[in-house]
Structure 1
């Protein structure tokens, strides 16, 4: 697995040099606001979920059953996964090919929780994530950033939203052909799997600031995050 990102980013003078940890379940707006926040701070952006999706795609392309733990680990160990930390041009490659689109397929979405639950997969990707975080200057989004990947992050953010709002947002991302009830059921399934796995479960870090995005638009969330990051505001 590659230890380098495809598009390293040089931080501008005066840019944010710390680490922002942004956790939360799907449909809360993490990816959008994390990228926007990174842009506002002049920082890098790391989408750890894309890395797990790339690992899952490698498993599916190899014809491996996501429940076959040993084969999953062997496949992920062989996979060359690299990710850009440029908020202006995020992307992930698998074995040298851009897979930014394929990792968002319904097949990958259905299997990613199972692959992500394998402890050895998490150890391998967390190690890579920590290397990418390095000396900081980055906004990192995922499900276990503040609790496992980078417990020393400041601030730690946990985004939430109502189940209905999250389903509606995700259905909007998937397009007009998506069925809201099916999307809601899939989100509930992933929440259950991600929260109950033994290795690095989805959980709010004790010192994280929780922000409910149900009634907030993107600009409002980003502004609140800028205030928290730069001024230590708690709400």
Structure 2
């Protein structure tokens, strides 16, 4: 495939509740591209650890179980399934138990190294281009992405959105997001836009407008290039 006809790799970064997943899936659909939620990969590894009955404080067993797990991921934006050990775990990886344990599993360097290798492999095979979302995508996983976007939102709005998704309480959801942000900052980086990223504040923007902004950035890049 020539450089001119190469389909773009788009990295969508940002904190929890900023709208990354919805925006990324909508964008991938509009571009007829593949889609990858790297957060679901860490959740899948965590689910494998929990299913094996491993204590997340046992680093050696966590690494052994997480890196040895049979994980498969769908890259169609309309069906981004997650399979763990032959089981469809798409819903199970979103459980509170997994959410509470994922930072502990993701903090293991060997686990991150293994999943980053998988992520890069998936990106390389995406002939139709790919929209990749998650923490540290633009800096670590795909530093050569054609377009990097850092999606953010007001903390209260992030909590409201997440509470609506999970049918939870906004106050407790805010506390959960704050705790997750602090934990993620220890395993990836502080909550700030990577160099070369275009920052979009989605606080008062509907999804369609956020996607339109990203498409405009992509089109401008193509024109300028």
1:54 and 1:81 in contact (8 A); partners too:
yes
Structure-2 residue corresponding to 1:209 = 198
Listed as ranges, the gaps of 5+ residues in structure 1 are: 1-13
Listed as ranges, the gaps of 5+ residues in structure 2 are: none
Structure-2 residue corresponding to 1:62 = 52
Q: How does 1:1-235 map to 2 (within 5 A)?
A: 17-134=7-124, 136=126, 137-175=129-167, 178-197=168-187, 200-201=188-189, 203-232=192-221
3-state SS, counterpart of residue 206 of structure 1: coil
2:45 and 2:67 in contact (8 A); partners too:
no
- Give the Cα–Cα distance (whole angstroms) in 2 for the partners of residues 40 and 15 of structure 1: 18
Number of equivalences: 216
Shift of the alpha carbon at 1:173?
0.4
Structure-2 residue corresponding to 1:5 = none
1:15 and 1:42 in contact (8 A); partners too:
no
3-state SS, counterpart of residue 134 of structure 1: helix
3-state SS, counterpart of residue 143 of structure 2: coil
Gap change, CA 1:16 and 1:159, over 3 Å in 2: farther
Over aligned residues, Cα RMSD in angstroms? 1.7
More helix by share: 2
1:164 and 1:184 in contact (8 A); partners too:
yes
- Give the Cα–Cα distance (whole angstroms) in 1 for the partners of residues 172 and 86 of structure 2: 34
Gap change, CA 1:106 and 1:15, over 3 Å in 2: farther
1:57 and 1:108 in contact (8 A); partners too:
yes
C-alpha distance after superposition, 1:63-105 (max 9, x if no partner): 1122211110000122101101111211110011110000000
Shift of the alpha carbon at 1:231?
1.9
1:30 and 1:159 in contact (8 A); partners too:
yes
